Amino acid sequence: MTEQGTPPSRGNNLDPWYHHYAERTSGLAASEVRALFAVASRPEVVSLAGGMPYVSALPEDLVVGAMERVMREQGPVALQYGSGQGVPALREQILEVMALEGISGSADDVVVTTGSQHALELFSKLFIDPGDVVLAEGPSYVTAMVIFRSYQAEVDHVPMDEHGLIPSALREHIARLKAAGRRVKFLYTVPTFHNPAGVTLSWERRLEILEIAKANDILVLEDNPYGLLYFGDKPPAAMRSVERDGVVYLGTFSKTLAPGFRVGWALAPHAIREKLILANEAAVLSPSSFSQLVISEYLREADWKGQIDTFRGVYRERKEAMISALKEHLPELTWTDPNGGFYVWLTLPSHLDSKAMLPRAVTELVAYTPGTAFFADGSGAQNIRLSFCYPTPESIRVGIRRLANVINGEQDLLDTFAGTGNLSAPRLNRNSSNPPTDLR
């Protein structure tokens, strides 16, 4: 008890404003592994943790040329505030980008945002009331969940398998939540080359999930940063390509060009689009005119589709390096083998804990993101997200070899104790070629 007889507060007593923060900030806690990632950014550590695009594969000249032309020809406009909806010419060009994924729409319904991250924020601001439920895949994109929680929503994870979100599980979750009197506002989904699971929702399931959402009056928030980064066959068309009214679609130039521009967009039904513009204006007045004009110029002048091909080639090579290193060094484990995007989802033997193992991994100069980061409910200890986007193929091979040492070291330690205790779990889940049937 304090002098005044009040109980001591939880949390950071060094912050004199601790009691003044809005309730919603309780969802803004720094991740437990953040401090470790500071260490993991040292050059001797192979980081398989982050999701940074390999921007060095983008020729500097292309960007510099576009910047120069913009400044020479439209300098005063580029340096000025713009519209809250975004530059009209760019919104037209965004339609061309989305057409590659089967989407047709009107430039009037596109709202340019400060990365798709900001579109997630604006959308959440429009739709979430405290206590609402947001349905999301389990696992789900960590920084979307941070936003949902900051608006005091509860994230309810619907399981996935190697074909993505499981429709029957979605039905069950909706029924259970309705029976409990909960209000489900929307389904957040990354259907193509999922972050972190690396899987892609099949076409049949896309249709089925859209039907379920419609029948239950649930809006779908389709987040698609990776769809154009496929390694083999094209993935199924976007969900928005079949459903206009019930889907808000998010896209970004972060992965197909560069995240430093911070330009993404939302394609939304009319009424929602109107509110998104108002929310965008309230938040940032207008997205960066300079970035938008440079991207618009780049799309006009450069071989942007060829550049996406170059990115595909780079990431395909890195993914293959990762999968072959996993086969070589950790043949007993299971993982997803993505056909695009940035991530592999690794499953450990059930008695290993990826978060507990991370300090040891960093000591052995390899970093990853523990699966627990991608669940709102604390599950995921048996999983690891491995990113292959940034390190070179050679570093990836070194990183996986180090990771195998860490995993085998932990395993040996447990086996040693298993001789005296009763920890003799089956050594490993032996099968590397088939992805796990359930990603929970």
Q: Which residues bind ligand PLP (CB under 6 A)?
A: 51, 115-117, 141, 190, 195, 223, 225, 252, 254, 259, 264
If the CB atoms of residues 236 and 349 are measured against ligand PLP, the closer one turns out to be 236
Quote the least distance from Cβ 321 to ligand PLP, whole Å: 21
Quote the least distance from Cβ 224 to ligand PLP, whole Å: 8
Quote the least distance from Cβ 229 to ligand PLP, whole Å: 11
If the CB atoms of residues 117 and 354 are measured against ligand PLP, the closer one turns out to be 117
Nearest to 366, CA basis, from 131, 120, 50: 50
Count of helices and strands (H, E) across the chain: 12, 14
If the CB atoms of residues 119 and 302 are measured against ligand PLP, the closer one turns out to be 119
If the CB atoms of residues 84 and 349 are measured against ligand PLP, the closer one turns out to be 84
If the CB atoms of residues 223 and 243 are measured against ligand PLP, the closer one turns out to be 223
Using a 10 angstrom Cβ sphere, with 0-12 exposed, 13-18 middle and 19 or more buried, the burial of residue 179 is exposed
Helix locations, 79-166, DSSP H:
88-99, 115-127, 142-150
Identify any residues that bridge with 383 across adjacent strands, giving them in sequence order.
347
Residues 44 and 37: their CA atoms lie apart, in Å, by 13
Quote the least distance from Cβ 315 to ligand PLP, whole Å: 14
Q: ω before 196 within 30° of 0 (cis)?
A: yes
Quote the least distance from Cβ 427 to ligand PLP, whole Å: 34
If the CB atoms of residues 101 and 223 are measured against ligand PLP, the closer one turns out to be 223
If the CB atoms of residues 265 and 428 are measured against ligand PLP, the closer one turns out to be 265
Crossing angle, helix 289-301 and helix 60-78, to 10 degrees?
130
If the CB atoms of residues 124 and 254 are measured against ligand PLP, the closer one turns out to be 254
Quote the least distance from Cβ 195 to ligand PLP, whole Å: 4
Q: Which two tokens stand for residue 181?
A: 């009197």
Helix locations, 100-194, DSSP H:
115-127, 142-150, 167-179
Residues 40 and 293: their CA atoms lie apart, in Å, by 36
Quote the least distance from Cβ 117 to ligand PLP, whole Å: 3
In the bound state, the residue with its beta carbon closest to ligand PLP is: 115
Nearest to 196, CA basis, from 372, 320, 316: 372
Nearest to 198, CA basis, from 158, 156, 162: 162
Quote the least distance from Cβ 122 to ligand PLP, whole Å: 12
Helix locations, 330-427, DSSP H:
354-363, 393-418
The residues near 214 (Cβ < 8 Å, ≥ 6 apart) are 243, 246
